[in-house]
């Protein structure tokens, strides 16, 4: 297996090197190698991660055609290396239309660190939200067409086969806590969405970039990244106690319409983003209902403000998810409110970068605080020291209260 991976990687390299020989002037190689080590502050200081990474960006362009390949290797001591292509696509540039075909990351919206209209690329949440955002977003095989008129763009995205978000492994410290009375058995037989034309996803966006305002208006017909978890219970006939629980995840269709904007106001950048989702299945705690799920529409929006104070760049966002026509058996809150806060500063001629980012969950009084300092020993070589501190006992962030960690990243870019 290991040999096959290395052979495949080698073939990609050799192929690209040969192309590079032919097209030496237009082939660009960039990338990085990185060591990432994290240690938990509790649990006898277990390592939360030891990871070595190689990431390459190989780009070739000639006239109206270009392509990019982004192979990566994650190596964990004692495990098989994890390899893949984050992106591998072909660009075709025409007068007013560009096409991008292949595996690609597609990012929409004006939000930072929050996914409202930015829902095209599936996410890699195997380490919760802690990875860098270019690593959280996975590539998805798509055909993307952009038509340009003036300062506006109309974009159409077709995803022939649904790719789901990657969740943490069941034994991972980042596996979300679920309250089941007994240990359930997972039945993944209905998890896959069949690869058919009817099951493809489609998205459209109209965007503009003007002096007064940047805007996006978008719509999508897609699959819900969060599968609906159907449960089957078996009771002991004598004690009537629950003795078997089967969970069957199944993805459901979602409709989406939304938009975003960004503008400047007396030195402030004001941002907003909102989306209306239809057909979401919310779990309930009712035993009397025919189905344990209720299909509801919901609204997810954000307002953000960016500003600079004493040469420190700051950004704050208020995010709300609101279930419409709410009914009490639904387990999720009718309104889920979150704040984010970001402060960044560059010192020593941009060789020292300090950053503090925080998610604050207002419903459960929980938070994730992420301070970090990055120092560039040279332009290519950087050292990063950071911490992830989880506060609270429950909620999206509080559930990881035992996972506070400090970490280092040593990175060489080329």
Partner 1 sequence: MAAQTELSGLQIIEKVYNRPEGDDMQGDLMMTLINSRGNQRIREIKQFIKNFGEMEKKIMFFISPADVRNTSFMNWSYDQAGKDDDQWIYLPALKKVKRISSDSRSDHFMGSDFTYDDLGDRHPSDDNHNLLREETINGEACYVVESIPKDDEYMYSRTITWTIKDKWIGLKKEFYDEDGELLKTLTVKKFSQIKGIWIIMMSEMHNVQKEHTTKMQLSNVILNSGIPANKFTERMMRRGLK
Smallest gap from Cβ 188 to partner 1, in A, equals 31
Q: Give the contacts of 160 (CB within 8 A, at least 6 positions apart).
A: 141, 142, 143, 195, 197, 200
How does 242-268 read in b/e, with b if 16+ C-beta sit within 10 Å? eeeeebbbbbeebebebbbbbeeeeee
For residues 41-60, which are near partner 1 according to CB under 8 A? Answer: 59
235 to 188, 238, 247: CA distances (angstroms): 22, 9, 15
Smallest distance, Å, CB 160 to partner 1?
A: 21
Report in angstroms how near the CB of residue 48 gets to partner 1 at its nearest: 23
Specify the pairing of strand 185-186 against strand 242-250. parallel
340 binding partner 1? (CB under 8 A): no
Total binding residues toward partner 1, as defined by CB under 8 A: 46
> Which residue in 75, 52, 58 sits closest to 2, CA to CA?
75
Quick one: 32 or 299, whose CB is closer to partner 1?
A: 32
Is residue 175 within 8 Å of 184, Cβ to Cβ? no
Task: Write the binding mask 368 to 387 for partner 1: x where contact by CB under 8 A, - elsewhere.
Answer: ----------xxx-x-----
Is residue 61 close enough to count as binding partner 1 by CB under 8 A? yes
**Among 189, 198, 211, 328, contact with partner 1 (rule: CB under 8 A):** 211
From the list 15-23, 256-264, 331-339, 390-398, the region that binds partner 1 by CB under 8 A is 256-264
Residue with tokens 């297996």: 1
Q: Is there a contact between 9 and 391 (Cβ–Cβ < 8 Å)?
A: no
State which residue, 103 or 137, has the beta carbon closest to partner 1: 137
CB atoms under 10 Å from CB of 6, counted, come to 13
Is 105 an interacting residue with respect to partner 1 (CB under 8 A)? yes
Structure tokens at 203: 């998205």
In this structure, the number of other CB atoms found within 10 A of the CB of residue 26 comes to: 14
Q: Which is nearer to partner 1, 199 or 308 (CB)?
A: 308
Which residues in this chain contact partner 1 in the complex, by CB under 8 A?
A: 28, 30, 32, 59, 61, 66, 91, 93, 98, 105-107, 110, 132-134, 137, 146, 148, 151, 153, 207, 209, 211, 214, 262-264, 267-269, 306-308, 311, 313, 346, 349-351, 378-380, 382, 413-414
């Amino acid at each position: 297996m290991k040999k096959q991976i290395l052979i495949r990687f080698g073939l990609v390299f050799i192929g690209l090197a040969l192309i590079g020989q032919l097209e030496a002037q237009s082939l660009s190689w960039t990338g990085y190698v990185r060591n990432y080590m994290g240690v938990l502050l509790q649990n006898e200081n277990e390592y939360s991660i030891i990871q070595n990474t190689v990431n390459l960006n190989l780009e070739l362009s000639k006239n109206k055609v270009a392509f990019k390949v982004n192979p990566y290797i994650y190596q964990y001591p004692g495990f098989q290396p994890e390899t893949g292509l984050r992106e591998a696509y072909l660009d075709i540039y025409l007068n007013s239309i560009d096409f991008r075909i292949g595996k690609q990351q597609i990012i929409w919206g004006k939000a930072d660190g929050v996914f409202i209209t930015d829902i095209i690329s599936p996410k890699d949440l195997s380490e919760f939200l802690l990875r860098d955002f270019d690593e959280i977003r996975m590539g998805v095989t798509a055909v993307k067409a952009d038509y340009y008129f003036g300062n506006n763009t109309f974009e159409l995205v077709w995803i022939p086969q649904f790719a789901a978000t990657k969740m943490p492994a069941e034994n991972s410290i980042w596996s979300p806590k679920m309250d089941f009375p007994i240990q359930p058995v997972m039945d993944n037989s209905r998890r896959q969405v069949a690869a058919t034309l009817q099951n493809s996803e489609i998205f459209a966006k109209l965007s503009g970039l003007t002096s007064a305002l940047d805007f996006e208006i978008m719509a999508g017909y897609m699959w819900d990244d969060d599968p609906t978890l159907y449960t089957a219970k078996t009771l002991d006939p004598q004690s009537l106690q629950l003795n078997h629980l089967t969970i069957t995840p199944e993805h459901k269709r979602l409709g989406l319409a939304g938009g975003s904007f960004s503008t400047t106001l007396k030195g402030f950048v004001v941002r907003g983003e909102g989306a209306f989702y239809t057909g979401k299945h919310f779990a309930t705690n009712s035993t009397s209902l025919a189905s344990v799920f209720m299909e509801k529409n919901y609204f997810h929006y954000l307002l953000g403000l960016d500003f600079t104070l004493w040469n420190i760049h700051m950004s704050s966002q208020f995010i709300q998810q609101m279930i419409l026509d709410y009914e009490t058996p639904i387990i999720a809150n009718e309104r889920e409110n979150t704040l984010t806060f970001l402060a960044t500063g560059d010192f020593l001629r941009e060789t020292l970068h300090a950053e503090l980012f925080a998610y604050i969950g207002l419903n459960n009084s929980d938070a994730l605080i992420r301070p970090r300092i990055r120092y560039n020993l040279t332009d290519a070589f950087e050292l990063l020291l950071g911490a992830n501190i989880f506060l609270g006992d429950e909620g999206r962030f509080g559930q990881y209260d035992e996972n506070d960690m400090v970490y280092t990243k040593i990175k060489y870019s080329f």
